[in-house]
Structure 1
Amino acid sequence: MNAEDDFDLIPGLDRSAPPEPRRRPAPWWDRLSIYLPIMLMGLLALASYWLLRATPPAPEPQPERPVTSEPDYFMRRFSVKSFDAAGQLKAEVIGDEARHHPDDDRVEIDNARIRNLAESGAVMRATAQRVTTNADNTIFVLEGDAVVVREGGRTDAGEPLPRLEFRGEFLRVELEPVERVTSDQPVELLRNGDRINAQTLDYRGDEQVADFRGRVRVQLNPRAAP
């Protein structure tokens, strides 16, 4: 019996099947690709943590600042016109400088020139070194060489209205609800050549009546005989 016969006697030995080849270990990059998703997730987590630390905190809500009297805007060498619903000129304000105060919504105007046209067609002009007006331009306070002129015209009933000119260092003009000119300081009124000086003044345009107080001096212009 030779050696080949001895192999034939080994049970379970298949002489027809060749021996299996020895497997090589997987390359390192293949092994690395298994852990790559975990590494990327870790890097993203670190980046998110860094961004969270680097982002400044949200500002805390600040308490509402109280409204002050400091001007919040200016206008220089300006001209402002306002119109009624029909597109007709209602008022015009010209000045060297205007300052808006947000606490009471008033506007101060230096070297102001104002022209107002009433619905009846009466024209009122005013000038002063400083004019302070409210938000809707219905009240004007004139200070320094104040002059208010109400041009002559006619009433709704057709009666003539004389030209009136008020002069003083302080005049307050109200346009609504009725035309009114007041002053608690010395004032001068010119009317058809007449001159009236008084310590105070209260004039109402709806009644065409002027109330003078204090020391009053009147200079009447002679009227021509009819």
Structure 2
Amino acid sequence: MATLAPAPSGRARPAQSWLWRLQQLVANYLPLLLMAMLASGTWWLVKHTPVPEEATQAPPPRHEPDYQMRNFELQRMGGDGRLRARIEGAALRHYPDTDTLEIDQIHLRSYSADGSWVLASARRAVANADASEIQLYGDVEVKRYEAQQADSPQAAAKLDIRGEFLQAFVNREQLRSHLPVQLRHGGTTVQALGFEYDHLNGRLSFQGRTTANLAAKGGSQAKAKP
């Protein structure tokens, strides 16, 4: 005997409740929401965490030498391979914050392209890194010799400068001072409150009150004031 299957009901399956759908949505996206909340919390924590003062502002460099030398000798060569300057001293200190050299009991010998040369000495000196600019302090003495004098300190200097301060530009072959100096050139002695000497252009100028003793013919002397 055949059995008859029940006829399909015409009633629609009840729709899922909105609360159930909300629970499913939250369950699906809950890991993503937790990760977003964790990232936001970490960002807020980093932003509001106090930073130590030394980490935000680097301390200024201290004026302390990073290397020192004693009883040294330095040589500076020109582009043509010839010796341009030789510096000797009792002590040398290099300061990295200013990239300068400080020298005690300096003795400098500088050679010009025309063969003339200069001897300079002082109690102390401050120079830039390549020693192309040097400031001399205390018992400064500078002597310039002609090329034919064969590098002999015993020969008479063409120009003799003495004072308590002098600034030398080795490459430009210039000397200057804003403090009183005494200059001797031949038989002439000049006392000045300051001066500038440009060897390449052959120019010598004085500042302030200047007096000069001029050697006249026959051994007599004449005094001159500006």
TM over 0.5: yes
Unaligned runs of 5+ in 2: 1-54, 149-156, 220-226
Q: Could you tell me whether the CA contact under 8 Å between 1:167 and 1:188 is conserved in 2?
A: yes
Identity of aligned residues (%): 32
Task: Tell me which residue corresponds to 2:108.
Answer: 114
Match of 2:141 among 132, 142, 147: 147
Give the number of equivalent residue pairs. Answer: 157
Distance 1:74 1:168 in 2: 28
Q: Could you tell me whether the CA contact under 8 Å between 2:112 and 2:173 is conserved in 1?
A: no
Match of 2:210 among 206, 216, 221: 216
- 2:173 is aligned with 1:172: no
Task: Tell me which residue corresponds to 2:95.
Answer: 101
- 2:109 is aligned with 1:131: no
- Which portions of structure 1, spanning 4 or more consecutive aligned residues, are displaced by more than 4 angstroms? 61-65
Give the RMSD, CA atoms, in angstroms.
2.3
Q: What TM-score do you get using the length of structure 1 for normalisation?
A: 0.63
When Rg is computed on C-alpha atoms for both structures, the one with the higher figure is 1
Query: In structure 1, the residue corresponding to 2:215 is in which secondary structure?
Result: coil
Unaligned runs of 5+ in 1: 1-60, 155-161
Distance 2:59 2:197 in 1: 42
Shift of 1:153: 3.9
Shift of 1:84: 3.1
After superposition, what is the alpha-carbon deviation per residue over 1:60-112, rounded to whole angstroms, capped at 9, x for unaligned? Answer: x9986643321111101111222334443221111000111111211011000
> Residues 200 and 85 of structure 1: is their aligned pair in 2 closer, same or farther, counting only changes over 3 Å?
closer
Give 1:1-226 correspondences, 5 Å limit: 66-153=60-147, 163-176=158-171, 178-223=172-217
Shift of 1:179: 1.6
